[in-house]
Chain A
């Protein structure tokens, strides 16, 4: 496995009140690769994803122990604010969730709150819309409410919104699950494109998608990381029976 770990956890445990959701998870996610998190519903893959972004911070019943690192920085260091972390680690959600603003402002908002030079914002908006293959479709109607776009367009807008901040990592929580197959393929092309500049972690239910897209795959089951390796290994030569059963479709 590569030495270039971008995100890593060690002895990570997470509880919702009394429920033990993540059990002693240790994983190292390689830089500038696409890593897929797979596993049956309720295995903790989405929870793990959200842990990287400190999205559990707002819920007072969540308790986290262990180490979560980006490069050499502890994500949960009390001296570091969640805002700084989230600037470095962007996120795309399961359902497209554009702001109730127009297309332009959807992307400009993140730039504005993060003190981007106002003169550079229009240029950055255009750039990130181009990177998300959305520019040609929306360039004439940037003032249109984002909610009027199609589902696939909305999701690409959400990706553009994350990309605009130039994060180091982009987390994606089943980004295609709410979309039709055609839009999904478009998003997949986009994700492949993103690999060049970003580290991508994607949660997916879809085995084919994981195989098509990812360089590495992690299989989780009941809150534990069962197996982690290159996608080829995981799908063609799994070491663990659980993994084997899952990737061959015997359960889940």
Chain B
């Protein structure tokens, strides 16, 4: 190749790489536009106010179909809240143990275990919800079926734990040693140092960990689809069957005719989910940025 050609090749590839980079923005934009376009199509058929206030999700009713997102939204939030109640203390305690008390050797055993937990496909976790957690809950509470919000919460807690632990451990680890030494110098013991100095100092990072774990739980589909019973009624508690936004899309998109109101409605609830996860992830990210500044 002569020099001229080499320069040309160099330029062509520079352009190819740049296009690949710009396409990423295109993909995000595409997803956003796709959701917007179909949601607008939906709102041409159905009043936005009803969508937000109706308490029924009943798209199959041919004479009077109802598309109220509330029961789905409440279900999603209920399952996620339950998952966080379980996962936050477990995750942060484990992260604290890993970072402050576990020996190097123990760490090399524990970290792969957490990675393995993260690697298990969601459908396998959902399956365990059916064969272990469900019957367990049924027995414990003396109810007929264990496929309910609590089941989903337990499974989502397991699924979000690896994220929470990893991010929280990084955050705790990043607290400067001098903070701890200062605390020891004042006569505080290990525990007082951990709870009064280290964890508060790591707080932005811990919030990021929680947000990222929550984002994962909110968007999870297969586990909740398999384990929560899928009843689209207003949930009254953790022992009720629920139907989350993700599960609704997964079940109904396969059966709905193309470009009907129902079809567009599924994009509209997806748009709501998109906005919620985006907000949660942005919150997590701004918390991480605070950690970076702090360092």
Touch test A–B (CB under 8 Å): yes
Residues of A within 8 A of B (CB): 81, 83-84, 113, 115
Q: Are A84 and B3 in contact (CB under 8 A)?
A: yes
Specify which of B1, B2, B7 is in contact with A81 (CB 8 Å cutoff).
Answer: B7
Q: Are B2 and A115 in contact (CB under 8 A)?
A: yes
A-B contacts, 9 of them at CB < 8 A, read A81-B7, A83-B3, A83-B6, A83-B7, A84-B3, A113-B6, A115-B1, A115-B2, A115-B3
* Bound Cα distance from A187 to B290, whole angstroms: 50
Residues from chain B with Cβ under 8 Å of A113 in the complex = 6
Q: Which residues from 1 to 59 on chain B have a C-beta closer than 8 Å to any C-beta of chain A?
A: 1-3, 6-7
Residues of B within 8 A of A (CB): 1-3, 6-7
Residues from chain A with Cβ under 8 Å of B7 in the complex = 81, 83
Instruction: Write the chain B residue with the least CB distance to A81.
Output: B7
Instruction: Write the chain A residue with the least CB distance to B5.
Output: A115
Min CB distance, B7 to chain A, in Å?
6
* Bound Cα distance from A81 to B7, whole angstroms: 9
Min CB distance, B256 to chain A, in Å?
50
Residues from chain B with Cβ under 8 Å of A115 in the complex = 1-3
Instruction: Write the chain A residue with the least CB distance to B2.
Output: A115
* Bound Cα distance from A199 to B2, whole angstroms: 27
Residues from chain B with Cβ under 8 Å of A81 in the complex = 7
* Bound Cα distance from A115 to B4, whole angstroms: 11
Min CB distance, A108 to chain B, in Å?
16
* Bound Cα distance from A115 to B5, whole angstroms: 11
* Bound Cα distance from A189 to B2, whole angstroms: 36
Residues from chain A with Cβ under 8 Å of B2 in the complex = 115
Min CB distance, B9 to chain A, in Å?
11
* Bound Cα distance from A226 to B3, whole angstroms: 40
Min CB distance, A239 to chain B, in Å?
45
* Bound Cα distance from A81 to B3, whole angstroms: 10
Known: A84-B3, A115-B2. 4 other contacts (CB 8 A): A83-B6, A83-B7, A115-B1, A115-B3
Min CB distance, B187 to chain A, in Å?
43
* Bound Cα distance from A84 to B6, whole angstroms: 11
Min CB distance, A12 to chain B, in Å?
26
Q: Which 9 A-B pairs have the closest CB atoms?
A: A81-B7, A115-B2, A115-B1, A115-B3, A84-B3, A83-B7, A83-B6, A83-B3, A113-B6
Residues from chain B with Cβ under 8 Å of A83 in the complex = 3, 6-7
Min CB distance, A116 to chain B, in Å?
12
* Bound Cα distance from A83 to B3, whole angstroms: 9
Instruction: Write the chain A residue with the least CB distance to B7.
Output: A81
Residues from chain A with Cβ under 8 Å of B6 in the complex = 83, 113
Residues from chain A with Cβ under 8 Å of B3 in the complex = 83-84, 115
Min CB distance, B21 to chain A, in Å?
15
* Bound Cα distance from A84 to B7, whole angstroms: 10
Residues from chain A with Cβ under 8 Å of B1 in the complex = 115
Instruction: Write the chain A residue with the least CB distance to B1.
Output: A115
* Bound Cα distance from A219 to B6, whole angstroms: 39
* Bound Cα distance from A84 to B1, whole angstroms: 15
Instruction: Write the chain B residue with the least CB distance to A84.
Output: B3
Residues from chain B with Cβ under 8 Å of A84 in the complex = 3
Min CB distance, A186 to chain B, in Å?
35
* Bound Cα distance from A199 to B91, whole angstroms: 64
* Bound Cα distance from A84 to B2, whole angstroms: 12
* Bound Cα distance from A81 to B1, whole angstroms: 16
* Bound Cα distance from A7 to B96, whole angstroms: 60
* Bound Cα distance from A206 to B53, whole angstroms: 80
Min CB distance, A87 to chain B, in Å?
9
* Bound Cα distance from A249 to B106, whole angstroms: 53
Q: Which of B1, B2, B3 has the most CB of A within 10 A?
A: B3
Min CB distance, A170 to chain B, in Å?
21
Min CB distance, B62 to chain A, in Å?
62
Min CB distance, A121 to chain B, in Å?
15
* Bound Cα distance from A175 to B156, whole angstroms: 58
Min CB distance, A115 to chain B, in Å?
6
* Bound Cα distance from A102 to B240, whole angstroms: 67
* Bound Cα distance from A81 to B10, whole angstroms: 12
